[in-house]
């Protein structure tokens, strides 16, 4: 049809279905009910766990000898070269993963042979020499290379995959038409999750564990608490005229639009409304 663009799959030239918020809500609700019902009846995830068909003494032999032919592999490779899903499709897939129950929920290595094998493989991999090599590499990167190449800090932050709560915050502000920036260093101090340069507002989306939420994670390991510098960063930004908006992970769980609402409230207070 002329004058009308239709989104098409990047791999096959087929129209992509339009995902509405209603469809997404029904999909997430159905998936949540399915996992909860399955866990209640069987006591384990439908794909893994203590079910006989998912436990193998010598490993999973179902797919042994069943592979794509070389011609099929070459065709798949050629189709995927330079192909990227549109931003709206990636966002829809990310939202679709929300609420998914981990396959190892409620399982332990004492009751599940698959987890025991995974743990044994990790222990055999992380030898003392390998741990020493990794420690030396990290020491060189953060103490020497990082300090002598500050211009690459923004590049590394830009390619880092945003977290789920950061995606929610970006969508909340984008729906309100708020212009913001991401992955850029502010005042040479830090790289906020997103910030408004004109209003001088920095927004931080803090995970409850990695930022030691006083409500859900008051007791964190000493090594992690030493790394948390949130209070010092907020105070330094405040001294330089910046307003800080920090939102916890558990706040997003109760209200996905919390970032936009809190920002609107902050802007109203700044205008004296």
Q: Among 257, 232, 256, which Cα is nearest to 244's?
A: 232
What 3-state DSSP class applies to 131?
helix
Q: Which residues of 206-238 are buried (b: 16+ CB within 10 A; e: fewer)?
A: bbbeebbbeeebeebeeeeeeeeeeeebbebbe
Residue 182 CA to residue 61 CA, distance in Å, equals 46
Radius of gyration of the chain, Cα coordinates, nearest whole angstrom? 24
pLDDT number for residue 160: 65
Per-residue confidence of the chain (273 residues) as pLDDT tens digits?
A: 444 444 454 444 555 555 567 777 777 777 777 777 766 666 655 555 444 444 444 544 545 556 778 888 888 888 877 777 787 888 787 777 776 777 777 788 888 887 888 888 888 888 999 999 988 988 888 778 777 777 766 666 665 678 889 989 999 999 999 889 888 888 888 889 999 998 999 999 999 989 999 888 888 888 888 889 999 999 999 999 999 999 999 999 889 999 999 999 988 887 776
- What is the C-alpha to C-alpha distance for residues 249 and 247, in angstroms, rounded to an integer? 7
C-alpha separations of 148 from 51, 136, 159, 188, 258 in Å: 53, 17, 20, 14, 38
Ranges of beta strands (E only) in 5-120 are none
Q: What does the alpha-carbon distance between residue 174 and residue 177 come to, in Å, rounded to a whole number?
A: 5
Backbone angles phi, psi at 171, to 5 degrees: -65, -40
Question: In the chain, what are the domains?
Answer: 21-59+86-123 (no CATH), 127-151 (no CATH), 161-271 (3.40.960.10)
Task: Please return the burial class of 271, using the count of CB atoms within 10 Å of its CB with bins 0-12, 13-18 and 19+.
Answer: exposed
Q: What is the pLDDT of residue 64?
A: 52
Q: Quick one: 194 exposed, middle or buried, by C-beta within 10 A (0-12, 13-18, 19+)?
A: buried
Looking at residue 123, its pLDDT comes to 87
| pLDDT at residue 9, rounded to an integer | 47
- 202 close to 195: Cβ distance less than 8 angstroms: yes
Q: What are the pLDDT digits (tens) for 66-118?
A: 677 888 888 888 887 777 778 788 878 777 777 677 777 778 888 888 788 88
Distance CA 113, CA 119 (A): 10
H/E run at residue 247 = strand 243-248
């Amino acid at each position: 049809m002329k004058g009308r663009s239709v989104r098409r799959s990047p791999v096959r030239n087929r129209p992509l279905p339009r995902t509405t918020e209603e469809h997404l809500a029904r999909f997430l609700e159905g998936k949540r009910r399915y996992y909860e019902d399955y866990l209640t009846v069987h006591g384990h995830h439908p794909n893994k766990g203590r079910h006989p068909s998912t436990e193998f003494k010598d490993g999973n032999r179902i797919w042994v000898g069943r592979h794509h032919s070389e011609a099929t592999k070459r065709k798949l490779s050629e189709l995927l070269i330079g192909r990227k899903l549109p931003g709206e499709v990636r966002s829809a897939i990310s939202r679709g993963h929300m609420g998914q129950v981990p396959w190892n929920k409620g399982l332990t290595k004492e009751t599940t042979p698959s987890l025991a094998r995974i743990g044994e493989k990790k222990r055999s991999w992380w030898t003392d020499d390998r741990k020493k090599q990794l420690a030396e590499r990290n020491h060189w990167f953060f103490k020497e290379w990082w300090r002598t190449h500050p211009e690459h800090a923004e590049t590394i932050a830009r390619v880092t995959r945003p977290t789920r709560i950061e995606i929610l915050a970006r969508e909340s502000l984008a729906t309100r038409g708020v212009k913001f920036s991401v992955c850029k260093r502010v005042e040479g101090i830090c790289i906020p999750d997103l910030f408004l340069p004109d209003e001088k507002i920095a927004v931080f989306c803090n995970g409850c564990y990695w930022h030691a939420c006083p409500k859900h994670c008051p007791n964190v390991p000493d090594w992690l608490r030493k790394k948390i510098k949130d209070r010092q960063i907020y105070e330094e930004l405040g001294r330089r005229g910046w307003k800080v908006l920090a939102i916890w992970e558990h706040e997003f769980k109760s209200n996905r639009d919390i970032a936009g609402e809190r920002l609107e409230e902050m802007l109203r207070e700044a205008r004296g409304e």
